[in-house]
Chain A
Amino acid sequence: MMSNTTWNLDPSLESTALVQIKPQYELFIDGKWQAPLSKTYFDSINPADETHLAKIAWANQADVDLAVRAARTAYTNVWSQLSGAERGKYLFRIARLMQEKARELAVLETLDGGKPIREARDVDVPLACNHFFYYAGWADKLLEAFPGQNPAALGVAGQITPWNFPLLMLAWKIAPALACGNTVVLKPAETTSLTALKFAEICQEAGLPPGVVNIVTGYGDTGAALVAHPDLDKIAFTGSTAVGKQIQKACIGTTKKLTLELGGKSANIILEDAPIDQAVEGVINAIFFNQGHVCCAGSRLFVQESIATQVLDKLKFRLQSIYVGNPLDKNTDIGAINSKKQLETIERYIQLGLEEGAEIYQPTCELPSAGYYCKPTLFTDVAQSARIVQEEIFGPVLTIQTFRTIEEVVQKANNTPYGLAAGIWTDKGARIFGVSQQLQAGVVWANTYNKFDPASPFGGYKESGFGREGGLHGLRAYLKFPN
């Protein structure tokens, strides 16, 4: 008989042979690759090993202006002249092309952003494709979607996406915008431009009319120039609450319609009658999905006191089979932190947690020597008053609080300026409805967490933003309803 077995998985690296990264990327304006008028470029690196990936054009105000003009012209001359059915066919075609390049997009996403290939492959890319499929079907049904309300396109949309789900957030922005008859200028996050640029190639391949989709890469100043452009009818932004507020201010006095999808500090609540093993797994998905770089991450865990020890023990045990490391390894559960800057932020919060007297637990695991990595981290002995409980960390860091009564936990769950998502775990159906009605959050996951679907509206209450993306409700963000 065997004994004392150790069985470690060998590395299982996804091939990068499919992916061809150009040494330098220009701006995608009016269906063409155009060198930036700014004449400047920035470097994009792989956060997993800090290697250089490509030089990327850094758009300035003049570049943004060109892009907006192209989008306006395309809107006026081409896109607004097409029937919904024709627009839908373009979107279907794009969706298909994305599916055909699914693996390439997944590998690119992992290389550029550091997320595990398993997630890029099984979550980001399929969801992004599905989002285009979903909204493609709406393009010719807008009148049925809003009967008697005369829905009409807004015009040109400026869209700014974050670095945590680059291609998926692009899909959330571009698919409904185009389906509703708008043209777009999209600025991806500076650390993760590559899949947006690949998407531009897909638009070309799909024969999308020039100017309908324009991609301007750059840092925050590029985004600010886009927001400030006078000839936009719509701004859609996903990112931090702080930047969201700047954007809301910048839109005052204009006719730009605005939707914001911002930060969160979502509560994940386990009641004593929960399906406990699935709840523990739900906690893992809630906080360690995408390194915790998720606006709706279940970063505040609340466990009823009667089961707190058991849940904590189970969580600690579960952490032993979380693999942290090379994002290209198919077995990796937690990949690289997206940037050095973000790693520093997370580390600062971990330090703060220690200073606040919280008890820390991290599993023993070896991190790669190069690149940006963070161990999955649990903080116990924390109170609602601790900053690590109140502030969005945007990393694999979970705070764990206990509670005695449901009333108490609902109060604490809502005791935050944010209101993006919440989780509730209990076997009792009546309680699920009762608690979920009380939770101030745009998405409530009952006995599950971090599920996304093109048909499901997503967006926050309070300082987590306004407007919805996904589903029927997601159309509203890109339409006006002149009476």
Chain B
Amino acid sequence: MEVLKTYKLYIGGQFPRTESGRSYAVLSQSGQHIANACQGSKKDIRNAVQVARKAQASWAAKTAFNRSQIIYRIAEMLEARKGQFLEELQALGFDLKSATQEVETSIDRCVYYAGWADKYQALLGTVNPVASSHFNFSVPEAMGVVGVVACQQTAILGFISQVLPAIIGGNSVVVIANQKLPLCAITFAEVLATSDVPGGVVNILTGSVEEMLPTLSGHMDVNALSLAQLDSAILEKAQTEAVENLKRVMSYSIDFSQSTAQGLSYISDFQEIKTTWHPVEQIAGGAGGY
């Protein structure tokens, strides 16, 4: 008899079951019951946001180079587990070709964002020539905790395309995985757990978007939302709740398999710009310059 895998949540670097004690059946495209996933709850969201907040500051404080290395490590681990993803995708009913394409694009996207970690600052930041004796510069900074509703059309590519630009920029995330195709997200959690991403930086919940999203979008300690392909009623409800603490809401309705689904703008979507002023002392007799 085959041992069926139990897919749990990923919170704070641990794999807890949902506190609600519920699970739901994950079906393949042909309707076959292939696994059970945790049916996450409001309290799971609460716990995840708490650990995400705790993890964020020290994650953002790591050197950009270090974050780059860690994200690249994800790509390596993803590559190592490629077979497992392919199996899961095929079990869910994807053909080998499209499964391979999704996994390989996902790996490429990890490599792509790993390279951005110590570069976006130079493109999003500026030195501003103010008309007074001050040195003035603007730098991007992480927004904080980002709530993510992962793409509901792809099993892993959309997830990665939303999560990586957020965390590469120093944010921590609480992700509600693809409701129907949650397996790869949890397998990705295993990748994270065995790479060097500190616990709490990425937290992954499976279950009902409709049930959990309001808790996330209404949470006063979540700074931003990354939403993908939600139907307008759910989206508008989330946007309305987000107003309470002025969350920055990004809603994507793009095809994540396209090359345009990666880029600097996805990083800058979750960056604040901080501008700092400081006086410049005028040295007598000196005109400056070389």
Count of A interface residues, CB-CB < 8 Å: 41
List the A side residues contacting B129 at CB < 8 Å: 455
> A252 an interface residue at 8 Å Cβ cutoff?
yes
- How far apart are A176's CB and chain B's nearest CB, in angstroms? 15
> B278 an interface residue at 8 Å Cβ cutoff?
yes
C-alpha gap A445/B137 in the complex (Å): 11
Closest chain A residue to B242 by CB distance?
Answer: A248
Cβ contact of A442, chosen from B246, B248, B274, B278, cutoff 8 A: B274
A463 & B246 in contact (Cβ 8 Å cutoff): yes
* Stretch of A77-85, A228-236, A464-472 with 4 or more beta carbons under 8 angstroms from chain B: A464-472
Say whether, besides A462-B223, A462-B245, A455 and B273 are in contact (CB < 8 Å): no
Q: Give A441-468 as 1s and 0s: 1 = Cβ < 8 Å from B's Cβ atoms.
A: 1111111100101011111011101101
List the A side residues contacting B143 at CB < 8 Å: 461
> B283 an interface residue at 8 Å Cβ cutoff?
no
B95-129 with Cβ < 8 A to chain A: 126, 128-129
> A483 an interface residue at 8 Å Cβ cutoff?
yes
- How far apart are A332's CB and chain B's nearest CB, in angstroms? 23
C-alpha gap A436/B139 in the complex (Å): 11
C-alpha gap A441/B213 in the complex (Å): 28
> B20 an interface residue at 8 Å Cβ cutoff?
no
> B234 an interface residue at 8 Å Cβ cutoff?
no
List the A side residues contacting B243 at CB < 8 Å: 245, 248-249, 252
A455 & B130 in contact (Cβ 8 Å cutoff): yes
List the A side residues contacting B278 at CB < 8 Å: 432, 446-448
- How far apart are B281's CB and chain A's nearest CB, in angstroms? 10
List the A side residues contacting B128 at CB < 8 Å: 453, 455-457, 471-472
Cβ contact of A446, chosen from B138, B248, B265, B277, cutoff 8 A: B277
List the B side residues contacting A432 at CB < 8 Å: 278
B130 & A442 in contact (Cβ 8 Å cutoff): no
Cβ contact of A451, chosen from B132, B138, B141, B272, cutoff 8 A: B132
List the A side residues contacting B126 at CB < 8 Å: 457, 471-473
Interface centre among A149, A445, A481 (most CB of B within 10 A): A445
B260 & A446 in contact (Cβ 8 Å cutoff): no
Q: Give A408-448 as 1s and 0s: 1 = Cβ < 8 Å from B's Cβ atoms.
A: 00000000010000000000000010001100011111111
List the A side residues contacting B272 at CB < 8 Å: 442, 461
List the A side residues contacting B245 at CB < 8 Å: 417, 462-463
A444 & B275 in contact (Cβ 8 Å cutoff): yes
C-alpha gap A451/B131 in the complex (Å): 10
> B136 an interface residue at 8 Å Cβ cutoff?
yes
- How many pairs of A and B residues are in contact by the CB < 8 Å rule? 100
Cβ contact of A443, chosen from B130, B239, B248, B275, cutoff 8 A: B275
- How far apart are A271's CB and chain B's nearest CB, in angstroms? 14
> A298 an interface residue at 8 Å Cβ cutoff?
no
> A130 an interface residue at 8 Å Cβ cutoff?
yes
Closest chain A residue to B261 by CB distance?
Answer: A483
> A47 an interface residue at 8 Å Cβ cutoff?
no
Closest chain A residue to B143 by CB distance?
Answer: A461
C-alpha gap A447/B260 in the complex (Å): 43
> A241 an interface residue at 8 Å Cβ cutoff?
yes
List the B side residues contacting A241 at CB < 8 Å: 246
- How far apart are B224's CB and chain A's nearest CB, in angstroms? 9
Count of B interface residues, CB-CB < 8 Å: 32
Closest chain B residue to A482 by CB distance?
Answer: B260
List the A side residues contacting B265 at CB < 8 Å: 149, 481
B138 & A249 in contact (Cβ 8 Å cutoff): no
A459 & B246 in contact (Cβ 8 Å cutoff): no
C-alpha gap A458/B274 in the complex (Å): 8
Closest chain B residue to A466 by CB distance?
Answer: B248
Say whether, besides A253-B232, A436-B276, A442-B272, A451 and B246 are in contact (CB < 8 Å): no
B234-264 with Cβ < 8 A to chain A: 236, 239-240, 243-246, 248, 260, 263
Closest chain A residue to B133 by CB distance?
Answer: A448
Closest chain A residue to B123 by CB distance?
Answer: A147
A196-246 with Cβ < 8 A to chain B: 241, 244-245
> B279 an interface residue at 8 Å Cβ cutoff?
yes
C-alpha gap A457/B129 in the complex (Å): 11
> A294 an interface residue at 8 Å Cβ cutoff?
no
List the B side residues contacting A249 at CB < 8 Å: 240, 243
> A260 an interface residue at 8 Å Cβ cutoff?
yes
> B134 an interface residue at 8 Å Cβ cutoff?
yes
Q: Give A13-38 as 1s and 0s: 1 = Cβ < 8 Å from B's Cβ atoms.
A: 00000000000000000000000000
C-alpha gap A312/B126 in the complex (Å): 37
Say whether, besides A417-B245, A448-B277, A453 and B138 are in contact (CB < 8 Å): no
C-alpha gap A451/B246 in the complex (Å): 26
C-alpha gap A462/B141 in the complex (Å): 13
Cβ contact of A130, chosen from B131, B246, B275, cutoff 8 A: B131
C-alpha gap A439/B246 in the complex (Å): 18
Cβ contact of B136, chosen from A253, A456, A462, A473, cutoff 8 A: A456
Cβ contact of B236, chosen from A253, A437, A444, A463, cutoff 8 A: A253
C-alpha gap A462/B126 in the complex (Å): 22
- How far apart are B193's CB and chain A's nearest CB, in angstroms? 29
Q: Which residues of B are interface residues toward A (Cβ below 8 A)?
A: 126, 128-132, 134, 136, 138, 141, 143, 223, 232, 236, 239-240, 243-246, 248, 260, 263, 265, 272-279
A-B contact list, 18 entries, CB within 8 Å? A130-B131, A249-B240, A252-B243, A417-B245, A442-B274, A443-B277, A444-B275, A446-B278, A448-B279, A451-B132, A453-B131, A455-B128, A455-B136, A457-B273, A465-B246, A466-B248, A473-B126, A483-B263
Closest 3 A-B residue pairs measured CB to CB? A453-B130, A483-B260, A455-B128
Q: Which residues of A are interface residues toward B (Cβ below 8 A)?
A: 130, 149, 241, 244-245, 248-249, 252-253, 260, 262, 417, 432, 436-437, 441-448, 451, 453, 455-459, 461-463, 465-466, 468, 471-473, 481, 483
